[in-house]
């Protein structure tokens, strides 16, 4: 690697996030008595990262475009609750969960289109719009449709996917043996990471997102159809959120309408910490995944370190403040 490439790398937020992640893992592993960097704990962290990682990718592309999406947990929850209810009532997905994923993705697409129409045509603040639709979608789920929790009656096809494993690791705790599985659902996260990276770096649509996030007026003058791009963006994000929500149903073996309330307060800090600017035009898949992994590691290591999980909110708050400060300083430096 030449000096110019090294200099460019060290200027990127992702580089430092990766270094911090590695150092943090080593410290936690040492302090916990060697309990973090072991197969069973790594499998647990990867399992927790699957759904949150896909949600983080949804937030990333929206933030690159200069927007904020607070509604993706409500979109996912309404989509998977509807899909699971329909599958249960019709006796579907007892052997294959594909129909459930298709339904959840379609419902997510429709809800995302609703966001897209409002944001693209009325040029309203995306944070306020998605805050409003978040409340609306939750109200539809809990009030209008009165969707119920599905646990023991969940179609077997969902449970089968959630428990399907690549490999497993058995450890002895006291007098009993505990098995941890590396589930096949990790492949979905890998696929979405590859697709998102390709979209952002190798397509005109990805370049358009960076251009709009950098300066929407300039992007429009350059020939980008901003309305169309924003509509497509929020529609696709809605579909992916619905898909990710159904993955959560498979992994937890339950469809709970309000299970994702507040999830955005974990995901958004990770995306900001990973290098996405709150002003738009910046962000990468690698940085987002590093930051999301860091937050997941901390969250799953608190019991190992004897720290009350309530401190997680303090950690997330600090991450938001740090991320916003870094974004503001970067914007100030770019603008001279």
- Tens-place pLDDT, residues 45-99: 999 999 999 999 999 999 999 999 999 999 999 999 999 999 999 999 999 999 9
Q: Are 133 and 74 within 8 A, CB to CB? A: yes
Diameter of the chain measured on Cα atoms:
69
Looking at residue 1, its pLDDT comes to 53
The pLDDT tens digits for 118-171 are: 999 998 999 999 999 999 999 999 999 999 999 889 999 999 999 999 998 877
Is there a contact between 239 and 106 (Cβ–Cβ < 8 Å)?
A: yes
Q: Give dist(CA 114, CA 151) in Å, integer.
A: 29
- The predicted structure's pLDDT at residue 220: 93
Predicted confidence at residue 244, as pLDDT, reads 98
Can you give the pLDDT at residue 181? 87
- Residue 173 clears pLDDT 90, i.e. is over it: no
The string of DSSP codes covering 132-149 is HHHHHHHHIIIIIS-PPP
H helices of 253-310, in order, are: 264-273, 285-301
* Percent of all residues in the chain with a pLDDT value above 70, rounded to a whole number: 90
Considering the chain, what is the average pLDDT of its residues? 89
Kindly tell me if the per-residue pLDDT of 316 is higher than 90: no
Measured CA to CA, the distance from residue 252 to residue 248 in angstroms comes to: 6
Residue 7: the pLDDT is 65
Q: Cα–Cα distance between 91 and 59 in angstroms, integer?
A: 34
The predicted structure's pLDDT at residue 283: 92
- Of 159, 172, 65, the C-alpha closest to 120 is 65
| Of 13-27, 110-124, 140-154, 285-299, the least confident | 13-27
């Amino acid at each position: 690697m030449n000096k110019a490439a090294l200099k460019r790398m060290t200027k990127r937020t992702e580089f430092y996030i990766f270094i911090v992640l590695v150092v943090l893992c080593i410290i936690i592993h040492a302090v916990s008595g060697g309990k973090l960097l072991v197969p069973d704990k790594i499998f647990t962290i990867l399992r927790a990262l699957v759904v949150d990682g896909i949600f983080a990718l949804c937030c990333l592309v929206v933030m690159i475009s200069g927007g904020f999406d607070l509604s993706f947990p409500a979109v996912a929850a309404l989509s998977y609750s509807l899909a699971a209810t329909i599958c249960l009532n019709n006796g579907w997905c007892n052997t294959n969960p594909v129909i459930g994923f298709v339904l959840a993705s379609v419902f997510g697409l429709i809800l995302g289109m609703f966001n897209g129409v409002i944001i693209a045509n009325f040029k309203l603040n995306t944070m306020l719009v998605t805050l409003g639709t978040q409340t609306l979608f939750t109200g539809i789920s809990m009030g209008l449709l009165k969707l119920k929790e599905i646990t023991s009656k969940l179609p077997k096809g969902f449970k089968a996917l959630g428990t399907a494993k690549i490999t497993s690791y058995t450890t002895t705790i006291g007098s009993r043996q505990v098995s941890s599985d590396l589930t096949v659902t990790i492949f979905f996260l890998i696929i979405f990471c590859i697709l998102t990276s390709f979209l952002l770096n190798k397509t005109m649509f990805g370049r358009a997102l960076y251009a709009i996030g950098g300066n929407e007026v300039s992007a429009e003058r350059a020939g980008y159809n901003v309305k169309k791009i924003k509509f497509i963006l929020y529609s696709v994000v809605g579909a992916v959120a619905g898909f990710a929500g159904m993955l959560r149903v498979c992994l937890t073996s339950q469809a709970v309408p309000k299970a994702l309330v507040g999830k955005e307060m974990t995901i958004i800090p990770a995306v900001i910490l990973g290098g996405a600017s709150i002003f738009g035009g910046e962000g990468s898949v690698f940085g987002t995944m590093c930051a999301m992994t860091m937050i997941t590691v901390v969250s799953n290591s608190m019991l190992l370190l004897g720290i009350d999980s309530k401190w997680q909110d303090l950690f997330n708050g600090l991450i938001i403040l740090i991320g916003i400060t870094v974004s503001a300083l970067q914007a100030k430096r770019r603008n001279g």
